[in-house]
Structure 1
Amino acid sequence: MPDEQLKAFCAKTKARAVVGYTSDVDWLESAAFDLFLVSRLVWSTRMDRAYKHLTQQHSQFTNQFGLKIVTRTWSSAMLSKPST
């Protein structure tokens, strides 16, 4: 879904953010990363800082999964999967 539609969704619903993966993920690997992800999101006041931290500290997962975060006013750059 385009960023502008996700931003509009956040604005309309007053959701803090839309967070997801742009690639198919293995459930076990994503469950392990989700522990880091949820913890960071819960304690972060700014989603851009949470995204930056996650991409720096857990780049293997964020690259592999294509982590995407969108708020009413901001969207992360979609990470591309590494070449194989």
Structure 2
Amino acid sequence: MEAKEFYFYVLLCADDTFYGGYTTEPERRLKEHNDGTGAKYTRVRSRRPMRMIYTEAFETKSEAMRAEYAFKQLARHEKMVFLKKYM
């Protein structure tokens, strides 16, 4: 059986806000967000379209969820500093 990877990801929304989440399939999840069937936050029409600007793979779901939680605790300027390292 192939090992499953878990991803923490960040979306840049059309209204210039960030959304962080976790998934096992980043491409599918981005499509769900852009189709309006993803998270409640991304269902708002003014936030679409979104683009995935960051992904990081983890071996376990809990690691990916920890990364998501840590990102969501940051202030906007701290999120921008974090993302700037990878863009």
For the superposition of Structure 1 and Structure 2, which TM-score range results when normalised by the shorter chain?
0.3 to 0.5
- Tell me the TM-score normalized by structure 2: 0.31
> Which protein has the bigger strand share?
2
